[in-house]
Amino acid sequence: MKLRRSILIGAVAAATVGALTVAPAVATLTAKSPADQSLKALGQRHDLAIGTAVNVDLLSDSTQPQYKEIASSQFSSVTAENAMKWESIEPTKGTYDWTKADAFMKFAKDNHQLVRGHVLVWHNQLPKWLTDGVTAGTITKPQVRELLKKHITDVVSRYKGQIWQWDVVNEAVSDPWETNNVIKLRDDAAKGFWYNNYGPDYIADAFKFARAADPKALLFYNDYNLDAFGSGGADDKSQFVYTMVKDLRAKGVPIDGVGSQGHLSTRYGNFDAIQIADWHNKFAGLGVATAVTEADVRSLMTDALKANNSDAINEAFQAQAANYSALLQGCLASRHCLSFTVWGFDDKNSWTATTDLGSGPGGEALAAIYDATYKPKRALNTLKADLAYTGAPYVLDRIPQRPRR
Ligand code: G3I
């Protein structure tokens, strides 16, 4: 397929050169503009899946039909934004509600999209019966262990054979600003639920339970603030995760990949594409795949931005596009980076529009690649250009991955 394409391109090039010697003035470029192609079609050039998080409720929202249209036409991979989280799937102890998760899976199937399963083990969006039961002492620690095993087994088994990558464990590692510049597994009251109630072996066990339930899915550790390596010391979250994954692999734990979420803000320094490429390649050196799993780039909503001041908008959108681009180029540069997923694609429905990230609800927003009226932003065309105007020797096809043993 690829070979035939390059022969054809060679023939076209030869014909073009011939034509140019005769009449250089009439040479025209006939390739379709990247702007007129979908992200998924452009990603295919590198075997890179381009994904988005999907809010299942919005797929049937008649007030914004663009949501479903873009979700189905632009992306080759999808992640359920909330529908596969524990609180959604088992709101009442022992009674599953698969309605939204099944609807999400049907959407992916109807549109021939790969699925990133999200998420099996996280301290957030746990059902109240579980967290309240543990607090009240009506759910004991041995029961917590049994419950986690059952949860992973039941969810992974239901979608066995249909999930490409599972986010098995999410955000288990602290940030330097939380733990006095010494990274560790989260063990605090707010975010250390699994560490404190299951024990530190929850991470290894979760991967083993997932592998037993679906031997073909690629199993990922997923986290934010993991975009590039830093000092290499105790305050370097990437370095901590690197060592953790290395240890897990050495112990035979079935972990296949590391997901870098990629939630950035234009207010921070962030990283350039070369630093990010180094990150992917260093993890690939451990024998694991990588992925960008939740990319978005928000801006601090200054008064000027809130007032839609064009100077402020221009600055914010250009900085945003540059950061999206660094994340994508870094992934493209590693043949083991399998997918690039944005965490929603429009400013109206992005989680940042309502979340308090320290500056009040929606205080850091405008994070997506389409605006709130679904108009493409500069970031969208920048991603398309990055996918279109690249190739050998720095950008090569992905290397197909199989689950590690
Ligand atoms: O469940 C209630 C629902 O009953 C109610 O009607 C509705 C009204 O607003 O709120 C619903 O809960 C919201 C839930 O999303 C489902 O829509 C929560 O308030 C809201 O906080 C929650 O936010 C999600 C957030 O995870 C929770 O931490 C975001 O949509 C989701 O985008 C976000 O995703 C996470 C990834 O899973 C992991 N990485 C970080 C990323 C961004 O925070």
Q: Which domains does the chain have, with CATH numbers?
A: 10-388 (3.20.20.80)
Q: Nearest Cα to 260, choosing from 170, 323, 187, 162?
A: 170
Residue type, 383: L
pLDDT in tens, 187-226: 999 999 999 999 999 999 999 999 999 999 999 999 999 9
Selected residue with higher pLDDT from 287 and 15:
287
Tokens of 232: 């290499």
The proportion of the chain whose per-residue pLDDT surpasses 70, expressed as a percent, equals 93
Which residues have a Cβ under 8 Å from the Cβ of 332 and sit 6 or more positions away? Answer: 46, 48, 386, 387, 390, 394, 395
Ligand 1 contacts CB of residue 354 (under 6 A): no
Check: CB of residue 378 under 8 Å from CB of residue 321.
yes
Catalytic: 294? yes
For residue 4, name the pLDDT band (cuts at 50, 70, 90): very low
Ligand 1 contacts CB of residue 351 (under 6 A): yes
Mean pLDDT of 1-9: 36
Q: Alpha-carbon dihedral of residues 116, 118, 120, 123, nearest 10 degrees?
A: 150
Ligand 1 contacts CB of residue 125 (under 6 A): yes
pTM: 0.93
pLDDT in tens, 254-278: 999 999 999 999 999 999 999 999 9
CA 211 to CA 351: how far, in whole Å?
A: 31
Catalytic: 315? no
Catalytic choice (69, 87, 146, 171): 171
Residue type, 164: W
CA of 351 to the centre of ligand 1 (A): 7
Check: CB of residue 217 under 8 Å from CB of residue 163.
yes
Check: CB of residue 225 under 8 Å from CB of residue 172.
no
pLDDT in tens, 295-336: 999 999 999 999 999 999 999 999 999 999 999 999 999 999
DSSP for 309-323?
-HHHHHHHHHHHHHH
Give, for ligand 1, the residue of 124, 224, 364 to mutate: max count of ligand atoms closer than 8 Å to Cβ.
124
Q: What share of the chain is helix, strand, coil (3-state, %, to 5)?
A: 45, 15, 40
Which pLDDT does position 29 carry in this prediction?
61
Query: Is the confidence at residue 363, as pLDDT, over 50?
Result: yes
H/E stretch holding 78: strand 77-80
CA 114 to CA 51: how far, in whole Å?
A: 8
Check: CB of residue 107 under 8 Å from CB of residue 72.
yes
Query: Is the confidence at residue 104, as pLDDT, over 60?
Result: yes
Which pLDDT does position 72 carry in this prediction?
98
Which pLDDT does position 28 carry in this prediction?
56
Ligand 1 contacts CB of residue 124 (under 6 A): yes
Question: Three-state secondary structure along 359-370?
Answer: CCECCEECCCCE
For residue 25, name the pLDDT band (cuts at 50, 70, 90): low
Q: Return mean pLDDT, the chain.
A: 94
Ligand 1 contacts CB of residue 81 (under 6 A): yes
CA of 222 to the centre of ligand 1 (A): 17
Name the least confident of 22-26, 167-171, 296-300, 314-318. Answer: 22-26
Cross-strand pairs, 185: 173
Query: Is the confidence at residue 133, as pLDDT, over 90?
Result: yes
